[in-house]
Structure 1
Amino acid sequence: MATSVDNDVRALGAMASRAGIFCDFDGSLAPIVPDPAKARAVRGAGRVLERLARRYAAVAVVSGRPVSFLAKRLHPRKVRLVGLYGIEERVGRSLRILPEVSAARVAIDRAAERLRAELADVQGIFVEHKGLAVSVHFRRVRDRDAALKRAIPVVERIAREEGLASVTRGRLVLEISPPVQVDKGDVVRRVIEEKKLAGALVVGDDVGDLPTFRAVDGLELAIRVAVASDESPPDLIAAADHVVGGPIELMDLLKSLVDASRP
């Protein structure tokens, strides 16, 4: 790691009782894979996060995945799991869901069914029903430009007709969610306020993680880490304080934060 990274790691470790660590899952803790259902965190990620959670004021995985998906792959005890960009949150065994999204369940079910039917002719598209959101994945599609051109108006129309939120776009994925104004940055800001954090490290690999980068503005110490790939959004790289080359390199950074927090 570069000297500037070492300095930031030591500084955050020195204030661990007043600092938080917020990590994305896909592309950060877990390599991107063609089949989203087969995504797995890199070996030892769950253990490292638990060690961090015993030393830092707050440690959270903030993802577009459902909390149930994250729990099966990380087996957390003290780590917060925040799913669907802030709609779901699990701390310990307690699961909290934003009350205003409950009414959207039926609309989400209909949207998933309609998307599967209307996009069935596009080979390789995968429609993922996430409980309180629906994602349309394009990673297994050969002609991605043509597939996106075909799918975007369909996804936008179905979202509009079902009264759901506008479509968000990530790395080869389109997502429909309930009509609530919440993103990953809102999650980070809430935890910062709740825990009275003075410092934080945030990690992400996609445009959906940019709100977390902005959420730590104004802290005594803010460290923004981008996990790079061939698909990295330029805006994310530009906003980062440090860039790592993938989930394995990120693990090295997180392990160094464990060591830095030792008395």
Structure 2
Amino acid sequence: MGDDRTHSPSELSQPSGLPEPLTPAGRDGLAAILARPERAVIALDFDGTLARIVPDPELARAHPDAVPALAALAPKVRSVAVVTGRPAGVAVRHGGFAGVPGLEHLVVLGHYGAERWDARTGTVRAAEPHPGVAAVRAELPGFLDGIGAWRGSWIEEKGRAVAVHTRRAEDPQAAFDALRGPLGELAARHGLIVEPGRMVLELRPPGVDKGVALTEYLREAGADAVLYAGDDLGDLPAFAAVDKLRADGEVRGLLVCSGSAEVTDLASRADLVVEGPAGVVALLAGLAAGVA
């Protein structure tokens, strides 16, 4: 994209309160956001990034400082997008995003982009659900019982997807590993795929992921800079999308990992690793203070 600045982002000074990315591409992305925030999108996963991972996802709530930090930053950037596998309305409710002054430019891309909530209108738009999800939802309890995997695992209804959690099992990782193959076969029979996460296996429609959702939204927004923060395997497609957009010269970008000992793949791909949701919120507050 064209750039009318007289200095490249790498030549611009960085506010002292912000951490320095480890990679040249990340430093360039951060500098681009600081130089022209009105052309930047701040994109964030929800669970593990804005909210701590908890045993029961229904109890997850955004970090108490997340909404104030976003409300301070959002008016200064092109937009803020929360990109999540949760239903959009659930993320809005658990995040406390509705009706907050300063968050008029916030959108929630729920179900990996199949649903969209806009703060400006307060409404959700959604595509038609995949019929395989309803079929899997009906079959899954008996399926788990039949393979002896019911004990310690539990099902989360996600509307356009369904997830099996193993965090409460006696050996969560062993249960996760044992279920991955059988659930993959079940999903395939109904035209779905399995998306692994942090002690969770989500059965959902193919061709929908955070990378697709993020790429489409960035192009719609006309952004030429992006920060994307995530914590889990489901965020890898978004990381890959930003990498491709950077390589193609469409955007400058900063990839942030909300650090976790459970998922190392994301940290190895990130330009910057922070300490969980508290670290993400501190980064957002630093950006809000650092941009013009």
Distance of aligned partners of 1:94 and 1:108 in 2 relative to their CA distance in 1, 3 Å threshold: farther
2:163 equivalent in structure 1: 135
- The 1-side partners of 2:52 and 2:173 are apart by 23
Shift of the alpha carbon at 1:10? 5.1
Matched, 1:181 2:198: no
- The 1-side partners of 2:269 and 2:287 are apart by 21
Secondary structure of the 1:167 match is strand
2:279 equivalent in structure 1: 249
Q: Is the 8 A contact 1:227 1:245 kept in 2?
A: yes
2:221 equivalent in structure 1: 195
1:135-185 Cα shifts (integer Å, max 9, x gaps): 111111112244234423442233233x1312111111101013x411101
Gapped regions of structure 1 (runs ≥ 5):
none
Shift of the alpha carbon at 1:3? 4.0
Q: Is the 8 A contact 1:66 1:131 kept in 2?
A: yes
- The 1-side partners of 2:157 and 2:289 are apart by 39
Distance of aligned partners of 1:69 and 1:221 in 2 relative to their CA distance in 1, 3 Å threshold: same
Q: Is the 8 A contact 2:109 2:115 kept in 1?
A: yes
Secondary structure of the 1:128 match is strand
Shift of the alpha carbon at 1:193? 0.8
- The 2-side partners of 1:27 and 1:42 are apart by 10
1:90 equivalent in structure 2: 117
1:12 corresponds to which letter in structure 2?
Answer: I
1:13 to 34, 40, 44: 34
- The 2-side partners of 1:157 and 1:63 are apart by 25
| TM-score (norm: length of structure 1) | 0.88
- The 2-side partners of 1:261 and 1:83 are apart by 28
1:164 equivalent in structure 2: 191
Shift of the alpha carbon at 1:250? 1.1
- The 1-side partners of 2:278 and 2:228 are apart by 16
1:33 equivalent in structure 2: 54
Shift of the alpha carbon at 1:105? 5.2
Shift of the alpha carbon at 1:82? 1.2
- Structure 1 stretch 2-11 or stretch 32-41: which is displaced more? 2-11
1:4-31 Cα shifts (integer Å, max 9, x gaps): 5896645413211110010011111111
- The 2-side partners of 1:61 and 1:119 are apart by 36
- The 2-side partners of 1:82 and 1:118 are apart by 35
- The 2-side partners of 1:212 and 1:97 are apart by 20
| TM-score (norm: length of structure 2) | 0.80
2:81 equivalent in structure 1: 60
Q: Is the 8 A contact 1:112 1:134 kept in 2?
A: no
Q: Is the 8 A contact 1:199 1:221 kept in 2?
A: yes
Q: Is the 8 A contact 1:111 1:134 kept in 2?
A: no
Identity, in percent, stands at: 34
Distance of aligned partners of 1:20 and 1:123 in 2 relative to their CA distance in 1, 3 Å threshold: same
1:221 equivalent in structure 2: 252
Distance of aligned partners of 1:207 and 1:153 in 2 relative to their CA distance in 1, 3 Å threshold: closer
- The 1-side partners of 2:93 and 2:144 are apart by 26
Secondary structure of the 2:42 match is strand
Distance of aligned partners of 1:222 and 1:151 in 2 relative to their CA distance in 1, 3 Å threshold: same
Q: Kindly tell me the number of residue pairs found equivalent between the two proteins.
A: 258
1:209-261 Cα shifts (integer Å, max 9, x gaps): 1121222232442100011111122x311211111011111111001111122
Shift of the alpha carbon at 1:102? 5.0
Distance of aligned partners of 1:57 and 1:168 in 2 relative to their CA distance in 1, 3 Å threshold: same
